[in-house]
Amino acid sequence: MEKFEEILSKYEVIKRDKKPKTTFEDVEKIINFKLPEDYKSFTLNYLEFEDFIGEQNIRLWNFDEIIEINSEYGIFEDLPKTLGIGGNGSGEFIAIENLDNNNLRVVLSPFIIEKEAHIEIGYSFTDFLERLENGKDGLTDKKASC
């Protein structure tokens, strides 16, 4: 069991019983970078999630809705190296950002779409969940860093 799966099993995240209709290739063609393996594993095995991890409420979007949600929020248009994967219920979205050459990080950003507003909250999907689990998520002290 991968580390992120250990974390998600504590929070009773609903397992997926069917393969997602949206393919990784569909998404990767739009974002022009490869999705990280841990996030791919999450999307293949779990549906969306909305609950607290540690002290933070988060929502991870259903992969079958990922293209539609990113399009509706203008993420693809305004942030071409970014894929929104969820939100925090406080006007901010959680995303995977490609810095360069598939060097990725997980960021928190306001729905006022601008790259300068990104705050790193993980260097991988697993790291992001571990930080939430351990209360070192970067979400609680984000106001100080703005």
So what's the pLDDT on residue 119?
76
So what's the pLDDT on residue 46?
92
Indicate the CATH number for domain 3-145: 3.40.1580.10
Q: For the chain (length 146 residues), average pLDDT per consecutive 10?
A: 84 89 96 95 92 91 96 91 94 93 90 71 86 72 38
Domain ranges for the chain: 3-145
Lookup: tokens for 138? 């970067």
Distance of CA 131 to the CA centre of its chain: 13
- The whole-angstrom separation of Cα 86 and Cα 132 is 14
